[in-house]
Structure 1
Amino acid sequence: MLKNRLYYIDAYCKSFTAHVIKAAQDEQGRPYVVLDNTVFYPEGGGQPADTGTLNGISVLHVEEVGGEVRHMVAESLTSASEVEGVIDWERRFDHMQQHAGQHILSAAFVELFGFPTISFHLGKEMVSIDLDVEEVSPEQLAAAERLANDIILENRLIETKWVTEGELDQYSLRKQLTVTDEIRLVIIPNFDDNGCGGTHPSSTGQVSALKILSTEKQKRKVRVHFVCGGRVLQQLHQKNQQLTAASQLLSAPEDGVAGAIEKLLATNHSLEKSLEEAQDTLLTFEAKELLNTRQQGIVKAVFTGRTVQQLQKLAKLLVTDDEDVIAILVADNEDRLQFVAARGASIETSMKQVSAAALPLINGKGGGNDAFVQGGGEQLVTAEELVQAMVEQVI
């Protein structure tokens, strides 16, 4: 029975002795053992599995398959009849803190706003719940976090109880149960009754603290990311390091970092605008010089490291300055070729025909209209060969 498993009898048990009742390999050839009882929690209900050792051999994962708890081990244990098991307690207690914190936060959202939790994920760095609502305001997040931490600070008992389906009417369950036999409830008196198969501390105070970090939209639901217990200190340490580094880089006090960043962004925006204006001025002079190189009404040029946006600006300047020219410009950008072709207002030749001749040569894609086209593709020919093919199409 589930209730007789060691991790349910005592969630604080760190080591145990058990008999091996099965040693085999799964479909992928990974060795595993099944024991007559175990302290190792198998993955399930949003909570990751425990890790640790059996006779000093690493337990990499634990899962329940067909009613048996399989301990996936780094090496085969076929010769052992009895094992000494030790779980990674730091990992286990972290999971207990996060899982209990999830119960508390989910109950807080229900208590305050009637927002139900529909899924839960316990990750390596953060925990998340999905709320069955489309919007959650910052004020609602703050209120739920405050209530959750009040419940933690009150150090209420966290009780576990095995009940029958007929006894469920005695409890105000937060969500509908999916099991009808061996029902395990996790209860925080006068706050939350919830069916759960995970491991939890014995009191809310051991969750220590809870902090909501962020939210995101997930298919008309709101995902809330948060941390509990030791992870709160880890987040504080990381963010403090980042804030200190930013403060030093900006030569600003920590409480003035935001203002210094705003000032830096404004300066950067001004510099970008000035640089763009200077580049446009240079392109104007470059266009006038290129017009002097036209042959048979065609201006052609090859560049290295130019963006397609720069080619577009230059081509537009060329055909604006002289309505009787066609501009064919190609940029060689490492292993990629990009081109632009444009015609002046007095020219009737379709640039789409020029593009159609160029794209197959570079296995490329492009777009545009009869007056202006652009495209790009692989460097299957040289930039000069591509220009020449486009010029021949015009002629």
Structure 2
Amino acid sequence: MQTLFYYQNAMMKEFPAKIIRKGIEDDGREFIVLDNTAFYPTGGGQPHDTGTLNGIAVVDVEKVDDEIRHYIAESLPNDDELVMGVLDWERRFDHMQQHAGQHILTAAFVELFGYQTISFHLGRGTVTIDLDIENISEDELVAVEALANKIILENRPIETKWVTEDELEQYNLRKELSVTEEIRLVIIPNYDYNGCGGIHPTSTGQVSAIKIMHTEKQKRKIRVHFVCGGRVLSELHWRKNELNKVAKLASTPENESADTVSKLLTVQKGLEKALAAAKEQILSYEALELAAATNNGVTGAVYAERSIQELQKLARLVIAENENTVVLLVAEQGEKLQFVAARGTNAVDMSMKDISSAVLPLLNGKGGGSDAFVQGGGDHTMTGSELLEKMSNII
């Protein structure tokens, strides 16, 4: 392991190598094994590298047993014996920034508060660590972030060293190691000593910056989401754009956007409350008109784009106003028809289920309710007026 290019020189962007063998997995993926490589395989929480071998895309890299397999998008020419490997350096350096940033942030939690990290995930958006604690304060997060960025600003070296198990006692390791052979330490002098097989830049300054984005509870742990390096700029870029859009929509300076939006939301809630009251009043007027329009014990109407909830509320208002009536309401909503049938306490002695049972098959629909009140809906197989007529004819 110690002779691998990605361990000898983490900053290597391209390299020559000899093809040892070619193979095909059971799932059809072609791979190439080289005599050495700068492509890092997935492992230790760090994703694999991508890039090219003689111009052919490397889409995955995995360590299988004692060999590193480079999975390629298409076959290399049969006469190729030597390859020039080129890393997707933007991806690789991003991963190195995030992984080194994780070391720095984790060490800051330990140094300031003794909070241990129990897992690490390097995602495409944010990076996460899980802390072995149940709660954390905003003040603690601020302090940890400040210390982490101080270590970055000091541009301390990030060193790697291969040691034996007997030599481990010379180092103040952050956590106990699970390996006993080919032990690799990643060291930030006088700050962090940790066993790690990942790839990191050569100094903390190359991490550029760390920003904690948010935290969440995971059972009895705290998950910390953060970004480092170029991802900080990416986050700042889109958040700045969104804030600018909000400021323009609210016609206010960016630094006053939160207050302005808060006031707008207060106004909106007031308007929504007033609108709901107005709708209730309109339904009351409509109920009075429908109750007064009862003919032979039945009243009804057809509406466009009205919800089933509004139909139900209107029906209840009508039979409360006129206990001697049966109210039939239909709403046309795009490709759907919905209906409500309800009877007052002194109305005709029949079950409203008879109405729904008769019309639901015509609509390929579903419904439910009681003898006094049913609702349902289905396909727009007829007009709303035609449905209302069929319901009326059943009574």
TM-score of the superposition, structure 2-length normalised?
A: 0.89
Q: How does 1:208-357 map to 2 (within 5 A)?
A: 208-346=208-346, 351=352
Deviation at 1:321, TM superposition (A): 0.9
AA matched with 1:58: A
Query: In 1, Cα distance between the equivalents of 2:109 and 2:298?
Result: 69
Q: 1:26 to 1:280 in 2, by over 3 A?
A: same
Deviation at 1:134, TM superposition (A): 2.8
Deviation at 1:360, TM superposition (A): 6.2
The aligned counterpart of 1:45 is 44
Deviation at 1:22, TM superposition (A): 1.6
The aligned counterpart of 1:152 is 152
In the alignment, is the contact (CA less than 8 A) between 1:33 and 1:77 conserved in 2?
no
Deviation at 1:164, TM superposition (A): 3.0
- Secondary structure of 2:28's partner? coil
Deviation at 1:81, TM superposition (A): 0.7
Query: In 1, Cα distance between the equivalents of 2:166 and 2:364?
Result: 69
Moved more, 378-387 or 112-121: 378-387
Whether 2:73 is the aligned partner of 1:74: answer yes
- Secondary structure of 1:276's partner? helix
Query: In 2, Cα distance between the equivalents of 1:131 and 1:345?
Result: 63
- Secondary structure of 2:2's partner? helix
Q: 1:280 to 1:121 in 2, by over 3 A?
A: same
Query: In 1, Cα distance between the equivalents of 2:385 and 2:67?
Result: 69
Q: 1:377 to 1:62 in 2, by over 3 A?
A: farther
In the alignment, is the contact (CA less than 8 A) between 1:23 and 1:77 conserved in 2?
no
Query: In 1, Cα distance between the equivalents of 2:257 and 2:198?
Result: 42
Moved more, 342-351 or 218-227: 342-351
Q: 1:295 to 1:185 in 2, by over 3 A?
A: farther
In the alignment, is the contact (CA less than 8 A) between 2:210 and 2:229 conserved in 1?
yes
Deviation at 1:374, TM superposition (A): 3.9
Deviation at 1:292, TM superposition (A): 4.4
In the alignment, is the contact (CA less than 8 A) between 1:23 and 1:78 conserved in 2?
no
Deviation at 1:383, TM superposition (A): 5.1
Number of corresponding residues: 393
- Secondary structure of 2:75's partner? coil
- Secondary structure of 1:70's partner? strand
Deviation at 1:89, TM superposition (A): 1.5
Query: In 2, Cα distance between the equivalents of 1:167 and 1:155?
Result: 27
Query: In 1, Cα distance between the equivalents of 2:354 and 2:115?
Result: 60
Deviation at 1:376, TM superposition (A): 4.5
Q: How does 1:151-190 map to 2 (within 5 A)?
A: 151-190=151-190
AA matched with 1:40: F
Percentage identity across paired residues of the two chains:
58
Query: In 2, Cα distance between the equivalents of 1:124 and 1:181?
Result: 32
In the alignment, is the contact (CA less than 8 A) between 2:291 and 2:319 conserved in 1?
no
Q: 1:168 to 1:300 in 2, by over 3 A?
A: farther
Q: 1:365 to 1:162 in 2, by over 3 A?
A: farther
Q: 1:376 to 1:197 in 2, by over 3 A?
A: farther
Query: In 1, Cα distance between the equivalents of 2:363 and 2:193?
Result: 65
In the alignment, is the contact (CA less than 8 A) between 1:41 and 1:50 conserved in 2?
yes
Q: 1:328 to 1:120 in 2, by over 3 A?
A: farther
Deviation at 1:207, TM superposition (A): 0.9
Q: How does 1:19-58 map to 2 (within 5 A)?
A: 19-58=18-57
Query: In 1, Cα distance between the equivalents of 2:220 and 2:198?
Result: 28
The aligned counterpart of 1:63 is 62
Q: 1:36 to 1:141 in 2, by over 3 A?
A: same
Query: In 1, Cα distance between the equivalents of 2:217 and 2:371?
Result: 43
The aligned counterpart of 1:103 is 103
Cα deviation 1:233-278 (Å, max 9, x = unaligned):
2222222222222222222112111111112112222222222222
Deviation at 1:364, TM superposition (A): 5.5
The aligned counterpart of 2:125 is 125
Query: In 2, Cα distance between the equivalents of 1:185 and 1:352?
Result: 76
In structure 1, the gaps of 5 or more residues are none
Q: 1:389 to 1:159 in 2, by over 3 A?
A: farther
Deviation at 1:55, TM superposition (A): 0.8
Q: 1:163 to 1:300 in 2, by over 3 A?
A: farther
- Secondary structure of 1:283's partner? helix
The aligned counterpart of 1:3 is 2
Query: In 1, Cα distance between the equivalents of 2:324 and 2:148?
Result: 74
- Secondary structure of 2:219's partner? coil
In structure 2, the gaps of 5 or more residues are none
Deviation at 1:47, TM superposition (A): 1.3
Query: In 2, Cα distance between the equivalents of 1:289 and 1:309?
Result: 19
The aligned counterpart of 2:193 is 193
Cα deviation 1:125-165 (Å, max 9, x = unaligned):
32122223332221221121112112212222222122333
Cα deviation 1:280-331 (Å, max 9, x = unaligned):
2222222233334444433333333111221122112111111222333232
Cα deviation 1:49-74 (Å, max 9, x = unaligned):
11111111221221222332121222
TM-score of the superposition, structure 1-length normalised?
A: 0.89
- Secondary structure of 2:257's partner? helix
Query: In 2, Cα distance between the equivalents of 1:72 and 1:205?
Result: 33
